[in-house]
Amino acid sequence: MSIEPSVTTGGPLIVQSDRTVLLESDHPDAAEAAIAIAPFAQLSKTPEHIHTYTITPLGLWNARASGHDAEGVVDVLLDYAKHPVPHELLLDIVDVMDRWGVLTLVRSPVHGLVLESTDAGLLTSLLEQPDLAGKTGTRLDESSVVVHPSERGELKHVLLKLGHPVADAAGYVDGEAHAIELTDGDWQLRPYQTRAVDTYLAGESGVVVLPCGAGKTIVGAAAMTRVKATTLILVTNSVSAKQWKAELLRRTSLTEEEIGEYSGSVKEIRPVTIATYQVLTTRRKGSYLHLELLDARDWGLVIYDEVHLLPAPVFRLTAGLQARRRLGLTATLVREDGREDEVFSLIGPKQFEVPWKEIEQAGFIAQAACHEVRVRLDAGLRRAYGSAEGEDRYRLAATADAKIPVVRDLVAAHPEAQILVIGQYLDQLEELGAALDAPVLTGKTPEREREELYAGFRAGTVRVLVVSKVANFSVDLPEASVAIQVSGSFGSRQEEAQRLGRILRPKLHAQAATFYTVVAAETVDERFAAHRRRFLTEQGYAYTIESR
């Protein structure tokens, strides 16, 4: 495509040649512009008035794989730019996005797995790279080379690292057939869920990104009924496994006998098997104990729940599953370990995403107001904080006693609400439980007691529940309308998204949700909080900030 000279539009974006984009948050078109650039730009800093986004090759390739072309990306930048956009940046965007589709994996009836390239010179150059040694076989002609089937995943990952993504069109094994249907009832697939399944199946492998509370599990179930094959579902923990099983029993024709759980306490392998990441990565004397699960059946589909939390060892295991259809489900592709490239190359590119605000406006998730409440350390704690280092420094700030009366006041301000108080440190949570006269649920809570507390919360007999990070993921508490976060995993953006997600289930009478983060002012707690809220700001949520 040709790039016309940029003109000034007076928009909210300042686009810079180093691939950063500054968004003036007070501009009347700021929210609209933020949604427009979200498919290809990642928020990196959120000062009060100027938000900084970064355009990365991976972000551009994810956008390309999910249906956005270079012309559309360029048009968005030009339409919302305050000043002329650097011409060389626009050319760079076109060049990077045009790399998608240059390299394609295909299946040849004669030669098996073949890597094809529309640029013969590029293919020759890449095959000379040491990192590709042993991953390819016979050069068929100037534009194609045989690929060893066992190297399918690793080849894609290496080429992505070299700056050349691979479109995988080699197809997948059907796996063992197994009849699964959606059941009739008082529910139906929402329009965006249908679009998510259709888009995923068109590519057969990749990631669906939807907000917490938007029904990612139902998308997974619907995909299973379309594939109609044995399915391995990998989840974060045993609570999530039970919730997946309950949803499958409710939404599909599957019976108890057809669904197996493979976790620390149960080892069932059935046509649909739900396994935890933890059991899959269990090692003894350097060997993974449960790898046979991956080959225990001729799986037709592998679903990765909360794919942004996929443990590093599972990436290596997934490299050997490239002939299976793979579906990743997540609320955010952000990984704190920086392994987004491995999700892209080994699970698949982003196939579908809907902005959180779009689903909120349609009434499928609750409207949410986000607030940051800052408290000051007293003189004694400030002295201790000043002399502390590393994690001790954060812990002192995050667990400041000054937070307790603030939390008590916030709970009192919502006398009719179902409230979750969420934190990182167990001693802090115990103190809060005592101050609020509320039960405390942590990883040490026996599973039976945990389920009783969740059931009491759902029934309304428990109005305030103090929880640790065990409630971050895959816990369905639709009655919760207020969350108060007192401490977190340092600057984890994914955790912030998950915690807000706990209160986003639609409420009766369109009741709004309220999310509070209580932080110690002028400490690393405040700095980490600013880092955590980046993702939600990117999704269109505004934070009010107040001091107590």
58-62, 220-224, 295-299, 414-418: which has the minimum mean pLDDT? Answer: 295-299
Mean pLDDT of 68-93: 93
**What's the pLDDT band for 4 if we cut at 50, 70, 90?**
low
Q: Residue 179 domain-assigned?
A: no
Within a domain: 4: no
Residue recorded with tokens 């009836």: 109
Q: Is residue 460 predicted with pLDDT exceeding 80?
A: yes
pLDDT band at 217 (very low <50, low <70, confident <90, very high): very high
Q: What percent of the chain has pLDDT over 90?
A: 48
- Is the per-residue pLDDT at 508 higher than 70? no
Strand partners, 467: 422, 441
The average pLDDT across 5-20 equals 80
Give the tens place of pLDDT for each residue, 537-548. 666 676 788 888
- State how far the Cα of 235 lies from the Cα of 349, in Å rounded to an integer: 20
Signed CA dihedral, 148, 154, 156, 162: sign only? negative
- Mean per-residue pLDDT, 14-23: 93
| One domain for residues 245 and 290 | yes
* Most confident region among 273-277, 342-346, 443-447 by mean pLDDT: 273-277
Distance in angstroms (rounded) separating the CA atoms of residues 4 and 20: 21
Residue 92: per-residue pLDDT = 95
Q: Is 50 exceeded by the pLDDT of residue 491?
A: no
Evaluate whether 345 touches 57 at the Cβ level (below 8 Å): no
* pLDDT at residue 481, rounded to an integer: 86
My answer on whether 313 and 398 are in the same domain is: no
How far is residue 138's CA from residue 120's CA, in Å, rounded to a whole number? Answer: 15
**Together in a domain, 261 and 393:** no
Amino acid type, 391: E
Residue 186 lies in a domain: no
Inter-residue contact 413 to 476 (CB < 8 Å): no
Label residue 472 by pLDDT band (50, 70, 90): low
Give the residue numbers spanning the domain of 265: 191-350
The predicted structure's pLDDT at residue 495 = 64
The CB density around residue 418, as the number of other CB atoms within 10 Å, is 20
Distance spanning both ends of the chain, measured CA to CA? 54
Residue 484 has pLDDT above 90, yes or no: yes
pTM passes above 0.85: no
> Is the model's pLDDT at 478 over the cut of 50?
yes
Domain boundary among 49, 76, 98: 98
pLDDT in tens, 145-191: 999 988 998 899 999 999 999 999 998 989 999 999 999 878 899 99
Residues 128 and 94 in one domain: no
Mean pLDDT for the stretch of residues 242-269: 91
* Residue 342 shares a structural domain with residue 285: yes
CATH of the domain at 134: 3.30.70
| pLDDT tier, 3 (very low <50, low <70, confident <90, very high otherwise) | low
- pLDDT tens profile 362-392: 888 778 788 889 999 999 998 998 888 888 8
Domain boundary among 98, 119, 153: 98
What the block records as the tokens of 22 is 């500054």
Question: pLDDT (tens digit, 9 = 90+) per residue, 323-363?
Answer: 889 999 988 776 766 778 888 888 888 888 887 777 887 88
Higher pLDDT, 226 or 487: 226
**Does 400 share its domain with 528?**
yes
> Residue 315 maps to which CATH number?
3.40.50.300
pLDDT, residue 214, reads 84
Cα gap 58→54, rounded to integer Å: 11
> Does one domain contain both 117 and 244?
no
Of the ranges 199-213, 266-280, 488-502, which one carries the lowest mean pLDDT score? 488-502
Mean pLDDT of the 2-17 span? 74
**Residue-level pLDDT at 290:** 74
What is the predicted pLDDT for the residue at 301? 95
Within a domain: 183: no
Instruction: Kindly state whether residue 175 falls inside one of the protein's structural domains.
Output: no
> Among 305, 322, 350, which residue terminates a domain?
350
- The pLDDT of residue 316 is 67
Residue by residue, DSSP assigns 457-485 as: HHHTS--EEEE-GGGSSS---TTEEEEEE
Residues 309 and 334 in one domain: yes
Kindly report which listed range (35-44, 64-73, 146-155, 169-178) carries the lowest average pLDDT score: 35-44
Tell which wins on pLDDT, 280 or 436: 436
Report the number of distinct structural domains present in the chain.
4
Element of type H or E holding 397 = helix 390-398
Q: What is the pLDDT of residue 175?
A: 93
What tokens appear for 216 in the block?
């990612």
Q: Is residue 181 part of a domain?
A: no
Q: What is the mean pLDDT of residues 271-295?
A: 79
User: Considering the domain boundaries, does residue 429 fall inside one?
Assistant: yes
- Do 527 and 392 have their domain in common? yes
Q: Mark whether 486 and 396 lie in a shared domain.
A: yes
Cβ-in-10-Å burial (0-12, 13-18, 19+) of 445 comes to: middle
CA dihedral 218, 223, 226, 227 (to 10 degrees): -140
**Is 26 a member of any domain?**
yes
Same-domain status, 246 and 365: no
Of the candidate ranges 211-225, 445-459, 504-518, the one whose mean pLDDT is the lowest = 504-518
Nearby residues of 369 by Cβ (< 8 Å), 6 or more positions away: 512, 513, 514, 515, 544
Q: Are 75 and 6 in contact (CB under 8 A)?
A: no
Mean pLDDT of 301-329: 82
User: pLDDT at position 367, please?
Assistant: 80
212, 333: one domain: yes
Contact 37, 53 (CB under 8 A): yes
**Tokens 């001693």 found at:** 427
